[in-house]
A and B are shown apart, each in its own frame.
Chain A
Amino acid sequence: MARKLLLEHINVPGINTFDVYREKGGYRAVEKALKTLSPDEVVEEVKKSGLRGRGGAGFPTGMKWSFLAKPEGVPRYLVCNADESEPGTFKDRFLMTHIPHALIEGMIVSSYALGANTSYIYVRGEMMPQIRILERAIAEAKSAGFLGQNILGTGYNLELYVQPGGGAYICGEETALLESLEGKRGNPRIKPPFPAIAGLYGCPTVVNNVESIAATVPIINDGGEEYAKIGIGRSTGTKLISASGNLVRPGVYEIELGLSVEEFIYSDEYCGGIANGKRLKATVAGGSSVPILPANLTLKLASGEPRLMSYESLSEGGFATGTMLGSGGFIAFDEDQCIVRNTWNFARFYHHESCGQCSPCREGTGWMEKVLHRIEYGHGKMSDIDLLVDVSRKIEGNTICPLGDAAAWPVASAIRHFRDEFEWHVKEPVKCLDTNYGLANYAEPIAKAEVTTGN
């Protein structure tokens, strides 16, 4: 049984209340940090832990914190990014629903480390029930003296507020989130300046994912060095993986980074294999933005070594044969799923969510969606496939924020690995409407691998 840091007490009845959470050792990290550590020492522990941002980019959290500017007389802000909207990712919803105090506790510790006296949790508006849960949890923590003025008699003050979003994926991008928090349209800002210099209301600001903030609790409790012992290489600690798609047991799992992908998919401790006794066709390992991989490349590296659930192993081989850990949204496709249809679906998502500020993303995402729609519904041309690759290249890297890349990668990777399926859609315009291409001989550059059967 792997170690659980965030979800250790998830099955304890009433763990969503302050009293039970406290009984199970909750808020020890606040006591330890505020009473025995200086803010810089907290930052140092987080640095030592090697914790990397859990929202998708994987940037070391401690390093991000140390970039925060600290001019005299200017307030600093910590904003928690709970605008979870990456298709395939639902870990933050799970955490906030079932163990909201883990996030509140992490917010207090992190705000203390950064010297913030007002912090916001920006939750996507659709999660209204979670907003209510958090508001109740904040009220509980406040009446227990863990929030407000002079916390635990240490002289540290912190007010914590929940801010609802309005329904926009782009607000998961940190500067768009800050714009939205300022009551504006969620248009990402042009960087530099980075939020660490000029963020919310032009003040130095750190924006962190829910899971990153919650992870500071075990880091402070056990020490950064202990945390860094878990995991593999530069992928330290545990990670929440949201598993969805055609799996026997989809859901949120806490894994130690370094677990093999095969074990994650097939072992009974985790997803329990592919649903309905079917075979695995492909996976999207880190949320819809990351490149899709065919089954054989999901389970094994190009070298034949097993692929592991870690930042490094998942990106091994670059985009030619690898993908990314991203936000940990693990989507599994069984043999009856149509890659063209799914690619079109994702393209529609990015088209719908593009903020429209910069031209390559605004116009290019719609163009890709239309071409993919045409292929999916049997009106495509052979030249459309290269056109898609070309348009995706024109978007990638040429936009203000990473949404352009996120829109381009799924399309480019689907064509890279499943080109024959796209071609089949063009060649069989009638048949493709009611028949699926199946497993077939995709998966270059490894020769067709042994087909893994679900067990």
Chain B
Amino acid sequence: MLRVEEQQPVEFSSALIARFDEIVKRYPEGKQKSALLPVLHETQAELGWLSTSAMDKVAEYLDILPIEVYEVASFYTMYFLKPQGKYVLEVCRTGPCCLVGAERIMKHIEDRLGVKEGEVTEDGLFSWRGVECLAACGYGPVLQIGPEYTFYENLNEQSVDQLIEDLRRK
């Protein structure tokens, strides 16, 4: 349960609202609630995470109750209800990837970044977490990085180091 005072007001850019308008057109009249998942993705891509006030704005835009947005945002794992690092490394931790070393990769990332699962590095650049099957079992171990969910396949220690290095320099 959050306290009200944690909310910081947000404003949506007109470009973001324009994207919302595009999305809502996909559904029949009066079914604009269907846009909730894509609209939350767009919001998160813009703001990095979903604060209460961002979700309230979404509710207002879609003309639904705020609790309906909270219910949905907390159900699905892709929505961040807390601030994250700029890059969130999401490593698949399910069976087939574990057969080819996903647990080793997660340990390596933990050591390399020096933060535990779910925590953010001091420079605010990285956080990481294990996620369930990413449907790329044949190319494991895999990880993805939002908001575009770029995929990195057949990972090993060296390629993970390289990836982190590249992201730091970006």
Contact = CB atoms under 8 A, between A and B. Distances in A.
The answer to A–B direct touch (Cβ < 8 A) is: yes
Interface of A: 75, 84-90, 92-93, 118, 120, 124-129, 159, 161, 163-169, 180-186, 201, 242-246, 250-252, 284, 288, 329, 331, 333, 337, 341-342, 345-346, 349, 352-353, 355
A209 to B, nearest CB: 13
Interface string B32-52: 011111101100000000000
Contacts, number: 153
Interface core residue of A126, A164, A244, A245 (most chain B CB under 10 Å): A126
Contact of A129 (B68, B132, B151): B151
A183 B37 contact: yes
16 contacts: A85-B132, A86-B133, A87-B94, A87-B137, A125-B41, A163-B37, A165-B37, A167-B77, A201-B28, A242-B138, A244-B138, A250-B139, A342-B95, A345-B94, A345-B98, A352-B132
Interface residues of B, number: 45
Pairs of residues from A and B, 7 with the lowest C-beta to C-beta distance, nearest first: A166-B76, A183-B36, A244-B137, A167-B78, A167-B77, A183-B33, A250-B138
A90 B75 contact: no
B100 interface: yes
Contacts of B131: 126, 167
A252 B139 CA distance: 10
Nearest to B32: A183
A242 B41 contact: no
Given A125-B41, A185-B75, A245-B100, A349 B133 contact: yes
Contacts of A341: 98
Nearest to A353: B132
Contacts of B98: 341-342, 345
Given A183-B68, A342-B99, A345-B95, 18 more contacts: A87-B96, A125-B78, A125-B149, A126-B78, A163-B26, A163-B37, A166-B76, A169-B133, A182-B33, A182-B34, A183-B34, A183-B64, A185-B72, A242-B138, A244-B96, A288-B133, A345-B93, A352-B132
Interface in B56-77: 62, 64, 68, 71-72, 75-77
A326 to B, nearest CB: 13
A337 B96 CA distance: 11
A186 B137 CA distance: 24
A245 B140 CA distance: 8
Contacts of B96: 87-88, 244-245, 331
Given A85-B133, A201-B31, A288 B95 contact: yes
Most buried by A among B35, B36, B64, B132: B132
A170 B2 CA distance: 27
A90 B136 contact: yes
A166 B75 contact: yes
Counting chain A CB atoms within 10 Å of each CB, the highest count among B78, B96, B147 belongs to: B96
Contacts of A242: 137-138
B99 A245 contact: yes
B76 A244 contact: no
Given A166-B40, A166-B79, A185-B72, A337 B151 contact: no
Nearest to A284: B95
Nearest to A329: B137
B8 interface: no
B99 A333 contact: yes
B135 A186 contact: no
B11 to A, nearest CB: 23
Given A89-B135, A92-B135, A124-B135, A164 B41 contact: yes
A252 to B, nearest CB: 7
Contacts of B94: 87, 288, 345-346, 349
